Structure 1
């Protein structure tokens, strides 16, 4: 097969990582080509470094790419095109419709159409709704990253036969090198506090040191880190749990949200307990030394970070947000689920999960293996072969 991965920008988003994972596997037997709007982005460098074929259309906006991508389709003659995100999906479908070469087009949705766009402008919400309702019907298949995201799409396009879901692959496994606290100063833009060493079972409560609680994700309202901060305050002031260190790994995407969180930390004197690490390209090191992983999000498309935590054997507490966490944790079998925004229950669930993990470390690793790059790539390959 000849496969084009169409994405506007190769940043660090979920879709970019999924495309990279699938491409790495499929290019061993098939011809692949990434097509982007511009030769920019950290993951664009990854493509070059890994010798994955890529072509930039050199356009400033995705909808300016229609004719240029049409020419790429006619020249490369792909069997399948896989694209991601509403704007790019729409442009991809229009380019494919204009092309002489007829390729199968698979559009993928990596965020809840309902939740992700609820805080956007009315015009943006209308645009996305029209794209999904009108243009997604032209696709040969619509792939969602979770069953919840798929369930948002089906009522809009009214073609359940064209919709399916394939979960995101996990990037890491428990064989990653052990965390070296000294290296953190080389990989982050802030200096964290106490770093504890992991036990044989990542669910065990460490003795003689702080318990490391990890959260991973950019600082945005979506991640609802305020609920996590309130949970930490509750633990310290009410439960007298002052032997914790919370590490939040992720860049600051929303400066206003970061200012709000910082003000809360300072007002309640939580500085000794909370560290915003910032962006790190070695996040696996934080998973490797964590006692507990917490996802406090108001919504998700899937929740890759939960799977990544499971892949390191780390116990998990997550909000039961749409969409993904309940699917990954199988309704609490592999980690605790709490109501979105409920900081008190989140705090108590964190204590409970540290003291009595929901399942064994082996069970967490086994669950994560079901999201391996090989497993997920095979599902995409099976889909592509069925279409072709």
Structure 2
């Protein structure tokens, strides 16, 4: 009896470079590569992303463009090139992720019989109202998203927002959290904090991440003679502005901007407390990554994601968005309360285990299976 042909799945994304959605996608595809009945292809708009080196060698990677222009220009060019690639591969199912690629793929496959599933990764009420371009994507999404066979949302909050925005999606959304468990991880053991306390933040230097609130919290700690060192991993448009703010708050010697790095694990392991100060999120991969490394986590209780991962004062601490005073108090409490610190570390590690690649990939596989009829 001949072996049945493998089912072909095409994944479509923008450049897999530095974002949480792209990291999740790479981890997901790598985990699905263990399925012997699947043939996986990842199409990206632009070649050369930082996460390409993490891809399993059995996954076919197809960049549509070799050089990156603006995000909008890349998407327009991708639209023109996609049809040929899809025709060559003849996939049994397509899964695209994030609103820009989702819109492009749904337009490109408008008259196709190939089932297209879409993944959403951020808050549409906030994230798609930032610029004229994102507002245009939002409008197009309201028209096209109901044509998708199914939507996978990374959090219940984001799913609820999309249902509010596009009521026709009722019954077509499944919530599956992101793969948050890191590629390599060695949970640290509790140690008595030495001075200065090592704080870590990971995320783009953009308005969304609200580093200004974090800096103001640090200024309050400094007034109490609390010694600390903050390392920030990320790059973005707000870098110059944030460096000016750190100078204004007399924090220039206490904050180190390290830019983007693929070796995040080393920084997790060498830190004492992880802080996420965002105004909004879709999920918060870095929360899970920090927990997996055994770090106690403090996060803003922003829409959406953190409160779906963190149970306040059990496996992490949640502070009110923009509340620098509360954040400063939580940092000080963790440095002084060894019992709480250990409880957050142990429970956080247990929580992080729920987001391992094989567990999340199996949930995606079951959804794909409904449209592939994989036996």
Pairwise TM-score range, normalised by the shorter structure = 0.7 to 0.9
Deviation at 1:151, TM superposition (A): 1.0
- Are the counterparts in 2 of residues 265 and 271 from structure 1 also a CA contact under 8 Å? yes
SS at match of 1:340: coil
- Output one character per residue of 1:307-328: Cα deviation in whole Å (capped at 9) or x when no partner: 1000011101111011101011
Deviation at 1:332, TM superposition (A): 4.6
**Residue in 2 that maps onto 1:191:** none
SS at match of 2:278: coil
5 Å-filtered alignment, 1:13-52, equals 13-28=19-34, 29=36, 30-47=38-55, 50-52=57-59
SS at match of 1:317: strand
Deviation at 1:75, TM superposition (A): 3.0
Deviation at 1:360, TM superposition (A): 4.4
- Are the counterparts in 2 of residues 173 and 308 from structure 1 also a CA contact under 8 Å? no
Structure 1 outlier segments of 4+, above 4 Å: none
**Residue in 1 that maps onto 2:70:** none
- Measured at CA, do residues 288 and 173 of structure 1 come closer, stay the same or move farther in structure 2, by a change above 3 Å? farther
Find out whether 1:206 has 2:193 as its counterpart: yes
Which of 59, 69, 78 lines up with 2:91 in the alignment? Answer: 78
Deviation at 1:331, TM superposition (A): 4.6
SS at match of 1:2: strand
Find out whether 1:285 has 2:266 as its counterpart: yes
TM-score (norm 2): 0.88
* Aligned counterparts of 2:147 and 2:352: Cα–Cα separation in 1: 34
SS at match of 2:294: coil
Find out whether 1:9 has 2:19 as its counterpart: no
**Residue in 1 that maps onto 2:225:** 240
Deviation at 1:288, TM superposition (A): 0.7
SS at match of 1:31: strand
Deviation at 1:170, TM superposition (A): 1.8
**Residue in 2 that maps onto 1:164:** 174
Deviation at 1:10, TM superposition (A): 2.3
- Output one character per residue of 1:196-225: Cα deviation in whole Å (capped at 9) or x when no partner: xx6x32xx5424x32111111121111111
* Aligned counterparts of 1:212 and 1:98: Cα–Cα separation in 2: 54
- Are the counterparts in 1 of residues 268 and 293 from structure 2 also a CA contact under 8 Å? yes
SS at match of 2:128: coil
SS at match of 2:251: coil
Find out whether 1:375 has 2:359 as its counterpart: yes
- Are the counterparts in 2 of residues 132 and 153 from structure 1 also a CA contact under 8 Å? no
**Residue in 2 that maps onto 1:322:** 303
* Aligned counterparts of 2:44 and 2:193: Cα–Cα separation in 1: 46
- Measured at CA, do residues 173 and 78 of structure 1 come closer, stay the same or move farther in structure 2, by a change above 3 Å? closer
* Aligned counterparts of 2:87 and 2:150: Cα–Cα separation in 1: 21
- Are the counterparts in 1 of residues 155 and 282 from structure 2 also a CA contact under 8 Å? yes
- Are the counterparts in 1 of residues 243 and 252 from structure 2 also a CA contact under 8 Å? no
* Aligned counterparts of 2:305 and 2:166: Cα–Cα separation in 1: 21
* Aligned counterparts of 1:76 and 1:307: Cα–Cα separation in 2: 35
* Aligned counterparts of 2:180 and 2:76: Cα–Cα separation in 1: 31
- Are the counterparts in 2 of residues 298 and 341 from structure 1 also a CA contact under 8 Å? yes
Farther off after superposition, 129-138 or 327-336: 327-336
**Residue in 1 that maps onto 2:129:** 118
SS at match of 2:343: coil
TM-score (norm 1): 0.85
Find out whether 1:274 has 2:255 as its counterpart: yes
* Aligned counterparts of 2:147 and 2:328: Cα–Cα separation in 1: 46
* Aligned counterparts of 1:363 and 1:98: Cα–Cα separation in 2: 49
The CA RMSD measured in Å over matched residues stands at 2.2
Deviation at 1:350, TM superposition (A): 1.2
* Aligned counterparts of 1:294 and 1:235: Cα–Cα separation in 2: 14
- Measured at CA, do residues 140 and 331 of structure 1 come closer, stay the same or move farther in structure 2, by a change above 3 Å? farther
Find out whether 1:229 has 2:215 as its counterpart: yes
- Measured at CA, do residues 241 and 110 of structure 1 come closer, stay the same or move farther in structure 2, by a change above 3 Å? same
SS at match of 1:271: coil
**Residue in 2 that maps onto 1:57:** 64
- Are the counterparts in 1 of residues 142 and 165 from structure 2 also a CA contact under 8 Å? yes
